[in-house]
Chain A
């Protein structure tokens, strides 16, 4: 048999720049679908009890929610092609209610699939080289990466080949599929962390040594949930050829010594916290030294094979700035606002990165209708080599758009209700599904996000406020990442009433910090008032060009708490 280059020919505007399955990947996913079909059959026949079925259902992405099953589809490292996006739309129409929900971990969730339909949905995903494997369960989850991978100007190396390498290594791992708890890995290759690696079980930061070699800084034990922790560096530089061996060493230490007596203390962050990073490092180093690393020794060739799929698309040589863009901005203020807020710098002259916000004012954060998915697929083919990304902020990215094309793209998006110019602003809210869908939730999240979004519906005011991360979770499991929101909102239940706890000062980047509690919880109705008070105080106090989090750091948490207290004593309703 001869080597076959399975990459699609590099045609303009064709989906060429993502990993393509070879015969082995394809067979692997088909076998998983067949296996799950059989597991469903055996569950229905009684051969498997619900307790026995559960981990296998979860490992195939099927989760039991409040009202129905939820199917969580992996979008590995957030990259998908136009063809894949169309398939997601088709599935939403055929087996769900015509929409899907993009999550904070680069997954797409369908909220209403039937158990018996799930194998067919997985089959439909396999047709376009997708799956739902390990998007749930106590295993290594979908590996996430910087959504600006490959196009960010501040990048050392595209993190996606590493993430794909890890996707394969972690898939159906014989040893690490029954861990104490779920295990999440994120990778970034840039100077700015857009993948929140400090709050993952393992965060990988691609770094270059003094001698120019590429390797990984490995961070372990970060996480949100009921006990948030910032990850700690377990090793500063792991050469690429040792990456899998080193990760196996960490996983083995966690699998053996992670707590299993209490599921709330079972994450690796608790192990690191209780033992201390030095003891964990010693255990990992000892395991690494003892293991047979020869089985990993040939992997650089495989890495290069994978990296080949992420080669840059055939960009045109263009001037760094576009005259037509400048003219269109002057002509159409709404477009100018969109460009100023949602369009970012690209590493190639004349190109731009476009964030398509899934946070329309008053909408459900992260939801997209099948029609919108198709528009996004079309837009990516017309203007961006057929490639799309999903960000952990629950937005869609078109990573390679010519500046000259931005106006035409904007018009297309605007016609589909997809041109909300709020990327990174106060209404670009991360929210978990909350009590509207989730059986774990203690309070609603989506309606809170909608109310805040409506309160700040004046877009010029939002732009004046500037970048501000608001993140909402409907329970202490923190799926909405409230701990790392500059403003975090946690929905709890107190005496049968929803109560919202506000935190300030969270940061998901390399300078990671966990938000601090502002004061007693408030009711759902009061949340927009409180946020507005905080924002007004910030606007009054901020220095030139200072972001909310920086003002908070400069003034200190006490100043914000005082504000809260004074307002309370004055009888104001907060």
Chain B
């Protein structure tokens, strides 16, 4: 897997724990949703725990865990399945401040959408990363300088810019 953040391919400081693997004492680990409750109980209060969740997850299922999680990774079963974008929005709205990841076969052309909805990083399979190199992800980051929506992260809002124009 390749990890993209701020338009660069970076090393992943987190490790995805296989379900049969025992919980390690230290290090930043990502567990699957069914293991989350047990992991929180075992590891206690710390921000080195992350969870990977399906894009159909009800945000309320994570509500209690949110302040104790360092990372949430949302899987995209297909790049054309946009449910993860709404889930990201809802998790941010619920106050999640940690790293939000989109995991799946997302293409560079969706990068701005992902950032807009609150994602920090994108995790893609290696074969995709081979075709869509860092340069393409960086270009995608700069493809749209400004957007029509308000309340979405990343690009500046045209509405805000217009208001600034009218005010001055």
A residues in contact with B158, CB < 8 Å: 24-25, 28, 168
Q: Give the Cβ gap from A182 to chain B, nearest Cβ, in Å.
A: 13
Q: Which of B83, B87, B109, B115 has the most CB of A within 10 A?
A: B109
Binary contact readout B31-74 vs A (1 if CB under 8 angstroms, 0 otherwise) = 00000000000000000000000000000000000000000000
Q: Once the chains bind, are B149 and A302 in contact (CB under 8 Å)?
A: no
Q: Once the chains bind, are A292 and B117 in contact (CB under 8 Å)?
A: no
How far apart are the CA atoms of A172 and B113 in the complex, in Å?
Answer: 8
Given A27-B146, A256-B83, the answer on whether A291 and B93 have CB atoms closer than 8 Å is yes
How far apart are the CA atoms of A255 and B131 in the complex, in Å?
Answer: 29
Interface-facing stretch out of B4-12, B13-21, B22-30, B160-168: B160-168
Q: Give the Cβ gap from B40 to chain A, nearest Cβ, in Å.
A: 25
A residues in contact with B152, CB < 8 Å: 174-175
How far apart are the CA atoms of A291 and B150 in the complex, in Å?
Answer: 13
Q: Does A11 contact B (CB under 8 A)?
A: no
How far apart are the CA atoms of A39 and B144 in the complex, in Å?
Answer: 14
Given A173-B149, A298-B163, the answer on whether A2 and B168 have CB atoms closer than 8 Å is yes
Q: Once the chains bind, are A301 and B147 in contact (CB under 8 Å)?
A: no
Q: Does B143 contact A (CB under 8 A)?
A: yes
Q: Does A295 contact B (CB under 8 A)?
A: yes
Binary contact readout B85-122 vs A (1 if CB under 8 angstroms, 0 otherwise) = 11101000100000000000001011011111100000
Query: For residue B167, which residue of chain A has the nearest CB?
Result: A3
Q: Once the chains bind, are A177 and B145 in contact (CB under 8 Å)?
A: no
Q: Which of B112, B162, B163 has the most CB of A within 10 A?
A: B162
Task: Name A22-70 residues within 8 Å CB distance of B.
Answer: 22, 24-25, 27-28, 31-32, 34-35, 38-39, 42, 46-49, 52, 55-56
Given A31-B145, A295-B150, A295-B151, the answer on whether A301 and B163 have CB atoms closer than 8 Å is yes
Q: Does B126 contact A (CB under 8 A)?
A: no
| A-side interface residues, number (CB < 8 Å) | 49
Given A46-B131, A301-B163, the answer on whether A31 and B83 have CB atoms closer than 8 Å is no
B residues in contact with A291, CB < 8 Å: 93
Q: Give the Cβ gap from B12 to chain A, nearest Cβ, in Å.
A: 23
A residues in contact with B109, CB < 8 Å: 35, 39, 48, 52, 56
Given A35-B144, A176-B82, the answer on whether A292 and B151 have CB atoms closer than 8 Å is yes
Query: For residue B110, which residue of chain A has the nearest CB?
Result: A178
B residues in contact with A169, CB < 8 Å: 148-149
Q: Once the chains bind, are B150 and A296 in contact (CB under 8 Å)?
A: yes
Query: For residue B154, which residue of chain A has the nearest CB?
Result: A174
Q: Give the Cβ gap from A113 to chain B, nearest Cβ, in Å.
A: 21
Q: Once the chains bind, are A172 and B82 in contact (CB under 8 Å)?
A: no
Q: Give the Cβ gap from B13 to chain A, nearest Cβ, in Å.
A: 26
Q: Once the chains bind, are B85 and A255 in contact (CB under 8 Å)?
A: yes
Q: Give the Cβ gap from B112 to chain A, nearest Cβ, in Å.
A: 7
B residues in contact with A305, CB < 8 Å: 162, 166
Q: Once the chains bind, are A35 and B143 in contact (CB under 8 Å)?
A: yes
How far apart are the CA atoms of A25 and B80 in the complex, in Å?
Answer: 27
Q: Once the chains bind, are A22 and B159 in contact (CB under 8 Å)?
A: no
Q: Once the chains bind, are B112 and A174 in contact (CB under 8 Å)?
A: yes
Q: Give the Cβ gap from A370 to chain B, nearest Cβ, in Å.
A: 32
Q: Give the Cβ gap from A96 to chain B, nearest Cβ, in Å.
A: 27
Task: Name A290-313 residues within 8 Å CB distance of B.
Answer: 290-292, 295-296, 298-299, 301-302, 305
A residues in contact with B1, CB < 8 Å: none
How far apart are the CA atoms of A51 and B86 in the complex, in Å?
Answer: 23
Q: Once the chains bind, are B81 and A260 in contact (CB under 8 Å)?
A: yes
Q: Once the chains bind, are B86 and A175 in contact (CB under 8 Å)?
A: yes
Q: Once the chains bind, are B168 and A256 in contact (CB under 8 Å)?
A: no
A residues in contact with B145, CB < 8 Å: 27, 31
Q: Give the Cβ gap from B86 to chain A, nearest Cβ, in Å.
A: 5
Q: Once the chains bind, are A172 and B148 in contact (CB under 8 Å)?
A: yes
Q: Give the Cβ gap from A173 to chain B, nearest Cβ, in Å.
A: 6
Q: Give the Cβ gap from A35 to chain B, nearest Cβ, in Å.
A: 5
Q: Once the chains bind, are B165 and A3 in contact (CB under 8 Å)?
A: yes
Q: Give the Cβ gap from A185 to chain B, nearest Cβ, in Å.
A: 15
Q: Once the chains bind, are B162 and A175 in contact (CB under 8 Å)?
A: no
Q: Which of A172, A291, A299 has the most CB of B within 10 A?
A: A172
Q: Once the chains bind, are A256 and B80 in contact (CB under 8 Å)?
A: no
Q: Once the chains bind, are A255 and B86 in contact (CB under 8 Å)?
A: yes
Given A47-B132, A252-B89, the answer on whether A178 and B80 have CB atoms closer than 8 Å is yes
Given A255-B82, A255-B83, A256-B83, the answer on whether A22 and B162 have CB atoms closer than 8 Å is yes
A residues in contact with B117, CB < 8 Å: 174-175
Q: Which of A174, A296, A301 has the most CB of B within 10 A?
A: A174
How far apart are the CA atoms of A2 and B143 in the complex, in Å?
Answer: 27
How far apart are the CA atoms of A291 and B159 in the complex, in Å?
Answer: 19
Q: Give the Cβ gap from A30 to chain B, nearest Cβ, in Å.
A: 10
How far apart are the CA atoms of A290 and B94 in the complex, in Å?
Answer: 10
How far apart are the CA atoms of A70 and B109 in the complex, in Å?
Answer: 22
Q: Does A317 contact B (CB under 8 A)?
A: no
Q: Once the chains bind, are A178 and B132 in contact (CB under 8 Å)?
A: no
A-B pairs with beta carbons under 8 Å apart, 26 shown? A24-B158, A24-B162, A27-B146, A28-B148, A38-B143, A48-B132, A56-B109, A138-B80, A138-B82, A168-B148, A169-B148, A169-B149, A173-B148, A174-B115, A174-B116, A174-B147, A174-B154, A175-B85, A175-B117, A178-B79, A179-B82, A290-B93, A291-B93, A292-B151, A302-B162, A305-B166
Known contacts A47-B131, A173-B149, A175-B113, then 11 further A-B pairs from the complex at CB < 8 Å, ordered by chain A residue: A4-B165, A27-B146, A31-B144, A32-B144, A38-B139, A48-B132, A52-B109, A175-B117, A177-B113, A256-B87, A301-B166
> Closest 7 interchain pairs by CB?
A174-B116, A178-B82, A295-B151, A24-B158, A168-B148, A295-B150, A174-B113
